[in-house]
C-alpha cells in the first residue's frame, strides 16, 4: 500500500509555505528552483515532467490559480458595522432611545445606514473588479508535454493543473499566459500592457544552452526577463525554430507570478503612516478624558441631590455622547469625497482617497523624463554617418533627398524589433521613427526559405512604394538579440536575399563605440557626442560587421556577434520638452517644492533637459558624482567633479559615470566644448555657487548602487542636493524614493506607469500618466498625460488637509460648547430639551459639516505647507482660546441672568409679567396665571427643562456654534476665500436668521415646543451684545495670533526651535561644513559592502525593461 503524500503548509498573504522536515523551517513554494543552470533547465525539463513528478509538485505547490474571490456582502457588512465608530454610534443611539430622543437617533441611524451602504457598495464593486481582472487567467486550456518512459507525449489540460517545471507548448495565434514561464525554444512576441502599461509588443527569445555552473538567472544577469513570459500577458505571435515547436518551462504559478504579485500589491497595500490619523485618535482620547471628568461631575451633582440611580447613569452616559461627536468621522470623510469629486472633474482619478491629505504635505517630486517631462515620441533629427573613421556631413530629417543605400541605411532598416500587428507596424517608438525614415515595409508572412538557414520564420523588410531604388529585393532578419538595459544595446543578424549575413548593432553610443574596432571610431567621437547630448538630443550609435559564411545564426552567442564591429555613425533623435513642463516646474520651485529627475537616459542628456526645464538654474553648478568598484578588491571609490569643467581627457570619467567600462584600453582624445572662463574665474564662480548652496549632484544608477553599498553614510548628503539620477533601473527608482522618505521628505512620484510602477507604489503620492491597467499600482492617475496634474493635486491636497483641520476644530468646539452648556444646567438639575439638542445637532452642525467642505483650493501654491499634525501649538491654542471664550460667555450669561430684577427661580413667567417700574398688575396676573398653569402642566411633560438659565445658555451656545463655524472656515492661503463657498454662506445666513428669530420672536407655541421662555427685550439685546463680543474676540485671535505666520516664525526663532525633519537637520549640519562638497577629490571605501539587492525597491514590476528609457 502506497503511503499518502501529505505536507504541512501555511498561507501568508496568498503565498504558500511548506514545512521542510530537514531544514526544520517553512519554505516558500510555487516557483522553479533557483539553482538550475541554463543547460540543466533544457536537460531536466526539456522533455516534460513524469506523472509522478507532476503529482508530487502538485501536492507541494497547490493549484495554479490567482484566486481573488468576490467578498460576500454579509462579510463586508459585519466588518463595517464592527468599526469602533459605528459601535460608538450604536451605543449613542440606544441611549437616546432610552431618553426618548427619537428624532436625532433616527436621523443618525439613517445617516449611518446610508454611509454603511455606500462603503459596502464601493468595496463590493472593487472586489468584483479585481475578481474580473484575474478570472480569465485561471482556467485556460493549455498543451503540456509529459515524459512517459522516456517518450514525450502532448496532452491538453486546464491551466490550474500546471506546476513549476511543467513543459508548455505554445501554439500559433493569440494565447493568454496562465503562469510565468521560461522560453526554451523558438521566439515569441508578447503584449505586456496588462502589467507594464505600455502596449508596445515585446520580443522574447529562448534561453541559451550555456554550459556553465552559474544558475540560469545569474548567467543571464538583468536580461533574464528577455527569456521569461509573464502571467497575464498575451502571446500575439510565435516563431518556431528547427524543432518546429515553441516550448516554455513553467517558472512560477499562482500568486508567485508577475500578475499575482500585482494582485498582492493591491490586496495588501503598504500601510501609510500619516500624522493626521494618529493625532485624530489622540484628539478623540483627549475628548473622552474630558467626558470622563464631566461624568464624575454629573454623578456627584445628581447623586447628592437624591436622584434615582437609573437617571444618574443615563445623565452621566449622556455626557460621553455630547463630549465625543459621533458625526466627526463622517464629517471628515465628506471633505475627502468632495476633493475626490473635484479631482475627477480635472481628469485626475484616485483609488486611494486617504492619500489625498498626504498630497498637501508633498515637498519633493520625482519625475520620470521620457513621456513625462518630454514628449512621448521621438523625432528623427539627423544622421551623422561615419566612413573610414571620419564623420561625414550630417543628414537632416525630414530631408528633400532620401538616404543613400549603404550600411547605415541597412542598419536603420533591420536593427529593430518591430512587427506587423493588426495591420500596423508596432514596437518601440524610437524603432518606429527610425524604420519609417527608410520608407521600407515589413513583409511578415509565415515563412521564408533563406539560403543556408533551412526553413525558418524570418521577418523580411522590403523597399516600399516611396523608397529610393535599392540593389536588393529585401533583407531578412534571421535572429535578434533584444534590447537589454544592462548591456544598453540590441543586435540583429540579417541577410540580404541572395547575399551574405551581417550583424547590425544599435545602442548607447559610448557602449557601441567600445564594441567597435578602434580604427573605425572617429577621433572626435567624444566631442561630437557631447555636442549633441549637451543640447538635449537623444543619440544612438550604429555599428555592423559581416559574418563568416556557413555559420548557423542560432549557434552564435551574443558575445561572438557583438565584437570587432565597424562603427557606422550616430543617429540623432529630438526629444522635445512638453509645453507645460517648464511653467509647472517653475511653479513648484516658487512653492519651495523640490523637483528631481529620475530617468533611464544618458546623464548628459538628462542634465541638459533638467537645465532646459528649469530644474537647474543657469547660475547653479552641476557636480557629477561618480562611484566605481575597484577591480580585484571589495572596496570602491567615489569622486566629485564639476560637470562643465570636464576636460577632453576626463571624458573617460564621464563615460564611466554613464555606467560604462571599456573592454579594451583605448585612448579617447578630443576637443570638448569647455567654458571660456579662465581657470581662476571658474574656480571663483564654483566657490560662490557652493558657498550659497546652489549646486546640484548628478549621478548614474551604477554610481547610486555603489554609493548605497559602499558609502552608505554619504547617501543622505548626496540626496540632499541630488537633482539628476540617470540610467536608473526600475528597482533603483523605488529604492531612491524610499531613501528620500527616510530623510523625512514627503515624496511624490510622477511617471508613465510602466518602468515607474514600483516607485509609484512606494511614494507617498504616485501619479501615473498612463491609463493602462498598470496604473492600479498608482494611487492617482491623470487622464491628460501632462505634469500639470502635479501642482493641481498638491493644491487640492493642501485644501483637503486644511478642511480636515477646520472640521476637527469645529467638531471639537461644537461638542465642547454643548458639553459646557449641559454641565452648567446640570448644576441646577436642568438640561437642554430634546428639540433644543435636535436643533443644534441636526439643523446646525450636520448642515455645517456637509457644506463647510465645499470650499475649493486656492489657485496659487504658497512657499510653505499647512501643518501636518493636529497636536500643533497654533491649532491647540486656537481650540483652547475658543473654548475659554465660549465658557466665559456661557458662565457670564448663566450668572448674570440670575442677577436680573425680573428673574425668578420658580416662576418662569415673571419676566413677561413685569411692566413699567416693575409694578405688578393684578389683572395681568390673573390672565397670565391660567397660561402659566397650562405651561406648567406642559413643563412637567418636558421634564422641567424650561428656565431662564436654559433659555440664555441654549441661545448663546447655539449662535456660538455659528460663530466658530465662520471663524474656523479660513480661506487663503490654502483655500479659496470663504465667500466663494456660496452654499455655506447661504446656510450660515439662514441659520443665523432662524436663531435671531428664536431670540426675538415671542410665539408661545414655538417657545413651548423649543422649551424656551420669554425674556425682556433688553436681555435679548444683551445676549446679542455678548455674542458680538465673542465673535470679535474669536476673529481677532484667529487672524492676529493663530494665522499670523510671521509671529510664529519669530517665536520659533526666539525659542530656537528647529525642525526635527532629518533633511532639515542635515541641511543645518552641511551649512556649517566648509569641506562639503569635496570637489575634484576621490574617497575610497574600506568597509565591506552592504548588500542592497534585496532592498532595491518596494513593488517593482517584474516584467518591465524599457529600451526607450535606457538608450
User: What separation in angstroms does the CA of 1065 have from each of 400, 1051, 1058, 1062?
Assistant: 60, 19, 8, 5
Q: Which three cell numbers stand for residue 684?
A: 571663483
Q: State yes or no: is 67 an active-site residue.
A: no
Q: Which three cell numbers stand for residue 600?
A: 533611464
Q: Which three cell numbers stand for residue 701?
A: 544608477
Q: Which residues pair with 391 in a beta bridge?
A: 386
Q: Which residues pair with 628 in a beta bridge?
A: 637
Q: Could you tell me whether strands 1082-1084 and 395-396 are parallel, antiparallel, or unpaired per DSSP bridges?
A: unpaired
CA-atom Rg of the chain in angstroms: 37
Burial 976-1007 (b: 16+ CB within 10 A, else e): bebeebeebbebbeebeeebeebbeeeeeeeb
Do the beta carbons of residue 844 and residue 961 sit within 8 Å? yes
DSSP-derived 3-state class of residue 647:
coil
Q: Which three cell numbers stand for residue 158?
A: 486546464
User: What separation in angstroms does the CA of 814 have from each of 325, 516, 698, 995?
Assistant: 8, 78, 53, 16
Q: Which three cell numbers stand for residue 1091?
A: 548588500
What own/partner pairs with CB < 8 Å and gap ≥ 24 does 98-103 have? Answer: 98/314, 99/314, 99/318, 99/834, 100/834, 101/834, 101/837, 101/838, 102/834, 103/834, 103/835, 103/838, 103/842
Q: Where are the alpha helices (DSSP H) in 1038-1087?
A: 1045-1054, 1062-1072
For 742, other C-beta atoms within 10 Å of its C-beta total: 12
Whether the bond between 349 and the residue before it is cis, its omega within 30 degrees of 0, is no
DSSP-derived 3-state class of residue 66:
coil
DSSP-derived 3-state class of residue 797:
helix
Distance CA 120, CA 117 (A): 5
For the four alpha carbons of 664, 670, 674 and 676, in that order, the dihedral sign comes to positive
Do the beta carbons of residue 369 and residue 837 sit within 8 Å? no
Q: What is the dihedral of CA 525, 528, 533, 537, to 10 degrees?
A: -110
Q: C-alpha angle with apex 278: 275 to 283, nearest 5 degrees?
A: 115
Do the beta carbons of residue 581 and residue 790 sit within 8 Å? no
User: What separation in angstroms does the CA of 267 have from each of 12, 349, 749?
Assistant: 12, 19, 21
Sequence-distant (6+) residues with CB within 8 A of 624 are 603, 640, 641, 642, 643, 646, 653, 654, 657, 697, 698, 699
Q: Could you tell me whether strands 765-768 and 780-782 are parallel, antiparallel, or unpaired per DSSP bridges?
A: parallel
Distance CA 452, CA 493 (A): 14
Do the beta carbons of residue 798 and residue 401 sit within 8 Å? no
Sequence-distant (6+) residues with CB within 8 A of 1011 are 832, 833, 835, 836, 942, 945, 946, 950, 954
CA 604 to chain centre: 28
Q: Could you tell me whether strands 765-768 and 747-751 are parallel, antiparallel, or unpaired per DSSP bridges?
A: parallel
Q: Which residues pair with 386 in a beta bridge?
A: 391
* Selected catalytic residue, list 166, 261, 368, 1109: 368
**Catalytic residue ranges:** 368
Amino acid at each position: 500500500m502506497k503511503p499518502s503524500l501529505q505536507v504541512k503548509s501555511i498561507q501568508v498573504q496568498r503565498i504558500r509555505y511548506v514545512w521542510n522536515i530537514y531544514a526544520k523551517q517553512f519554505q516558500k513554494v510555487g516557483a522553479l528552483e533557483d539553482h538550475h543552470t541554463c543547460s540543466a533547465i533544457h536537460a531536466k525539463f526539456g522533455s516534460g515532467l513524469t506523472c509522478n513528478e507532476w503529482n508530487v509538485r502538485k501536492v507541494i505547490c497547490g493549484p495554479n490559480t490567482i484566486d481573488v474571490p468576490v467578498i460576500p456582502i454579509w462579510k463586508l457588512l459585519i466588518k463595517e458595522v464592527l468599526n469602533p465608530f459605528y459601535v460608538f454610534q450604536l451605543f449613542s443611539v440606544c441611549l437616546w432611545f432610552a431618553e426618548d430622543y427619537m428624532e436625532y437617533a433616527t436621523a443618525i441611524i439613517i445617516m449611518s445606514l446610508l454611509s454603511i451602504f455606500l462603503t459596502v457598495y464601493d468595496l463590493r464593486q472593487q472586489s468584483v473588479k479585481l475578481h474580473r481582472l484575474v478570472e480569465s487567467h485561471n482556467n485556460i486550456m493549455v498543451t503540456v508535454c509529459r515524459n512517459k518512459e522516456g517518450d514525450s507525449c502532448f496532452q491538453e489540460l486546464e491551466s490550474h493543473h500546471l506546476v513549476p517545471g511543467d513543459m508548455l507548448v505554445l501554439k500559433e495565434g493569440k494565447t493568454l499566459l496562465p503562469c510565468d514561464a521560461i522560453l526554451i525554444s523558438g521566439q515569441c512576441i508578447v503584449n505586456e500592457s496588462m502589467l507594464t502599461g505600455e502596449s508596445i509588443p515585446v520580443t522574447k527569445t529562448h534561453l541559451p544552452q550555456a554550459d556553465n555552473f552559474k544558475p540560469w538567472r545569474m548567467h543571464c544577469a538583468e536580461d533574464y526577463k528577455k527569456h521569461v513570459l509573464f502571467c497575464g500577458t498575451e502571446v500575439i505571435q510565435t516563431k518556431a525554430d528547427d524543432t518546429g515547436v515553441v516550448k516554455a518551462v513553467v517558472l512560477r504559478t499562482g500568486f508567485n507570478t508577475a500578475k499575482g504579485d500585482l494582485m498582492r500589491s493591491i490586496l495588501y497595500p503598504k500601510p501609510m503612516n500619516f500624522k493626521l490619523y494618529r493625532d485624530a485618535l489622540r484628539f478623540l482620547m483627549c475628548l473622552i478624558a474630558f467626558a470622563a471628568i464631566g461624568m464624575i461631575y454629573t454623578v456627584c451633582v445628581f447623586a447628592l441631590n437624591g436622584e434615582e440611580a437609573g437617571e444618574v447613569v443615563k445623565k452621566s452616559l449622556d455626557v460621553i455622547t455630547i463630549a465625543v461627536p459621533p458625526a466627526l468621522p463622517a464629517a471628515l470623510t465628506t471633505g475627502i469625497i468632495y476633493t475626490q469629486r473635484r479631482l475627477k472633474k480635472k481628469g485626475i482619478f484616485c483609488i486611494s482617497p486617504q492619500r489625498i491629505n498626504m498630497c498637501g504635505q508633498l515637498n519633493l517630486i520625482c519625475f520620470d523624463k521620457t513621456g513625462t517631462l518630454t514628449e512621448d515620441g521621438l523625432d528623427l533629427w539627423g544622421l551623422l554617418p561615419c566612413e573610414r573613421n571620419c564623420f561625414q556631413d550630417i543628414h537632416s530629417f525630414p530631408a528633400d533627398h532620401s538616404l543613400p543605400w549603404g550600411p547605415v541605411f541597412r542598419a536603420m532598416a533591420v536593427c529593430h524589433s518591430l512587427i506587423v500587428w493588426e495591420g500596423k507596424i508596432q514596437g518601440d517608438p524610437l524603432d518606429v521613427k527610425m524604420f519609417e525614415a527608410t520608407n521600407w515595409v515589413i513583409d511578415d508572412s509565415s515563412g521564408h526559405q533563406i539560403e543556408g538557414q533551412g526553413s525558418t520564420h524570418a521577418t523580411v523588410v522590403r523597399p516600399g512604394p516611396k523608397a529610393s531604388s535599392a540593389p536588393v529585393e529585401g533583407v531578412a532578419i534571421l535572429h535578434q538579440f533584444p534590447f537589454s538595459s544592462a548591456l544598453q544595446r540590441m543586435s540583429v543578424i540579417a541577410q540580404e536575399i541572395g547575399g551574405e549575413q551581417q550583424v547590425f548593432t544599435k545602442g548607447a553610443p559610448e557602449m557601441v563605440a567600445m564594441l567597435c574596432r578602434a580604427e573605425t571610431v572617429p577621433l572626435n567621437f567624444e566631442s561630437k557626442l557631447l555636442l549633441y547630448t549637451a543640447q538635449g538630443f537623444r543619440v544612438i550609435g550604429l555599428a555592423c560587421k559581416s559574418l563568416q559564411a556557413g555559420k548557423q545564426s542560432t549557434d552564435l552567442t551574443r558575445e561572438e556577434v557583438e565584437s570587432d564591429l565597424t562603427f557606422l555613425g550616430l543617429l540623432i533623435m529630438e526629444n522635445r520638452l512638453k509645453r507645460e513642463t517648464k511653467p509647472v516646474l517653475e511653479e513648484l520651485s516658487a512653492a519651495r517644492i523640490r523637483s528631481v529627475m529620475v530617468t533611464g537616459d544618458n546623464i548628459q542628456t538628462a542634465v541638459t533637459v533638467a537645465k532646459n526645464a528649469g530644474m537647474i538654474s543657469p547660475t547653479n553648478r552641476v557636480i557629477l558624482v561618480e562611484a566605481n568598484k575597484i577591480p580585484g578588491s571589495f572596496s570602491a571609490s567615489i569622486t566629485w567633479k564639476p560637470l562643465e569643467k570636464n576636460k577632453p581627457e576626463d571624458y573617460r570619467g564621464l563615460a564611466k559615470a554613464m555606467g560604462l567600462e571599456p573592454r579594451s584600453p583605448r585612448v579617447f582624445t578630443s576637443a570638448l566644448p569647455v567654458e571660456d572662463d579662465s581657470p581662476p574665474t571658474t574656480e571663483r564662480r564654483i566657490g560662490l555657487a557652493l558657498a550659497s548652496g546652489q549646486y546640484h549632484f548628478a549621478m548614474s544608477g551604477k554610481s547610486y548602487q555603489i554609493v548605497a553599498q559602499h558609502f552608505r553614510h554619504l547617501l543622505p548628503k548626496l540626496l540632499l542636493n541630488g537633482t539628476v539620477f540617470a540610467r536608473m533601473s526600475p528597482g533603483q527608482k523605488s529604492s531612491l524614493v524610499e531613501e528620500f522618505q527616510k530623510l523625512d521628505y514627503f515624496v511624490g512620484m510622477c511617471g508613465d506607469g510602466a518602468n515607474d510602477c514600483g516607485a509609484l507604489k512606494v511614494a507617498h503620492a504616485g501619479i501615473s500618466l498612463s491609463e493602462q491597467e498598470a496604473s492600479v499600482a498608482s494611487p492617482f492617475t491623470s487622464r491628460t498625460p501632462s505634469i500639470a496634474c502635479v501642482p493641481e493635486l498638491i493644491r487640492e491636497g493642501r485644501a483637503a488637509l486644511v478642511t480636515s483641520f477646520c472640521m476637527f476644530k469645529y467638531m471639537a468646539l461644537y461638542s465642547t460648547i454643548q458639553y459646557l452648556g449641559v454641565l452648567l444646567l446640570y448644576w441646577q438639575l436642568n438640561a437642554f430639551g430634546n428639540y433644543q439638542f435636535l436643533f443644534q445637532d441636526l439643523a446646525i452642525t450636520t448642515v455645517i459639516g456637509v457644506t463647510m467642505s465645499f470650499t475649493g483650493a486656492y489657485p496659487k501654491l504658497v512657499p510653505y505647507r499647512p501643518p501636518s499634525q493636529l497636536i500643533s501649538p497654533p491649532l491647540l491654542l486656537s481650540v483652547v482660546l475658543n473654548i475659554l471664550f465660549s465658557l466665559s460667555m456661557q458662565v457670564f450669561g448663566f450668572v448674570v441672568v440670575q442677577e436680573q430684577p425680573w428673574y425668578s427661580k420658580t416662576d418662569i413667567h415673571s419676566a413677561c409679567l413685569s411692566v413699567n417700574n416693575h409694578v405688578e398688575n393684578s389683572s395681568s396676573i390673573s390672565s397670565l396665571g391660567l397660561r402659566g398653569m397650562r405651561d406648567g402642566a406642559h413643563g412637567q411633560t418636558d421634564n422641567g427643562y424650561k428656565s431662564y438659565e436654559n433659555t440664555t445658555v441654549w441661545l448663546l451656545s447655539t449662535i456660538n456654534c455659528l460663530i466658530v463655524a465662520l471663524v474656523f472656515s479660513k480661506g487663503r492661503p490654502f483655500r479659496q476665500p470663504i465667500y466663494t463657498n456660496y452654499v455655506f454662506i447661504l446656510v450660515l445666513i439662514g441659520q443665523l436668521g432662524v436663531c435671531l428669530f428664536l431670540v426675538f420672536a415671542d410665539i408661545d407655541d414655538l417657545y413651548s415646543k423649543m422649551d424656551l421662555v420669554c425674556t425682556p427685550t433688553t436681555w435679548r439685546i444683551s445676549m446679542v451684545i455678548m455674542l458680538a463680543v465673542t465673535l470679535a474676540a474669536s476673529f481677532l485671535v484667529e487672524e492676529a495670533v493663530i494665522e499670523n505666520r510671521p509671529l510664529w516664525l519669530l517665536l520659533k526663532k526666539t525659542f530656537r526651535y528647529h525642525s526635527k525633519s532629518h533633511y532639515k537637520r542635515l541641511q543645518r549640519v552641511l551649512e556649517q561644513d566648509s569641506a562639503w562638497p569635496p570637489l575634484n577629490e576621490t574617497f575610497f571605501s574600506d568597509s565591506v559592502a552592504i548588500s542592497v539587492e534585496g532592498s532595491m525597491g518596494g513593488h517593482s514590476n517584474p516584467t518591465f525593461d524599457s529600451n526607450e528609457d535606457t538608450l
